[in-house]
């Protein structure tokens, strides 16, 4: 699933790059034909790029939230939950080691 998500993001990024290249080409053509000044062309292109970046961020946010919801519905543990479980296991192992250490001298003394 992680690979699928990465491919989706890469496809979105690829589309954004292609779209930017097309927009740049269109702006250059308009400037060549005298239908737009270089400054106006740059301004329009900057606005298009900013809008594209904003939409990409919104898409990323939407996808992350959707994936989080799907994983939650599947009851798959999150990284945070796994870290908490690991910490709890370490704490239990420490407590068990203490109990075993306390009982060891008593057991050795009883067998002598």
Query: What does the pLDDT look like over 41-52, one tens digit per residue?
Result: 888 888 888 888
What are the helix and strand counts (H, E) for the chain?
3, 0
Q: Tell me, yes or no, whether 18 and 43 share the same domain.
A: yes
Q: Tell me, yes or no, whether 10 and 54 share the same domain.
A: yes
Give residue 78's pLDDT: 86
Evaluate if residue 87 carries a pLDDT over 80.
Answer: yes
Least confident segment among 15-19, 29-33, 52-56, 76-80: 15-19
Average pLDDT, the chain: 82
Across residues 7-32, what is the average pLDDT?
Answer: 72
Give the structural domain span for 100. 78-112
Q: Tell me, yes or no, whether 52 and 98 share the same domain.
A: no
Evaluate if residue 5 carries a pLDDT over 70.
Answer: no
Percent helix, strand and coil across the chain, each to the nearest 5: 90, 0, 10
């Amino acid at each position: 699933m992680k690979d699928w998500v990465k491919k989706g993001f890469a496809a979105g990024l690829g589309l954004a790059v292609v779209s930017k290249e097309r927009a740049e080409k269109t702006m250059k053509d308009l400037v060549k034909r005298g239908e737009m000044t270089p400054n106006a062309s740059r301004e329009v292109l900057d606005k298009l790029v900013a809008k594209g970046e904003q939409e990409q961020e919104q898409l990323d946010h939407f996808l992350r939230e959707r994936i989080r919801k799907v994983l939650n519905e599947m009851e798959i543990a999150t990284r945070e939950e796994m870290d908490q479980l690991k910490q709890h296991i370490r704490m239990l192992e420490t407590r068990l080691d203490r109990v075993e250490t306390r009982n060891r001298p008593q057991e050795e003394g009883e067998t002598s």
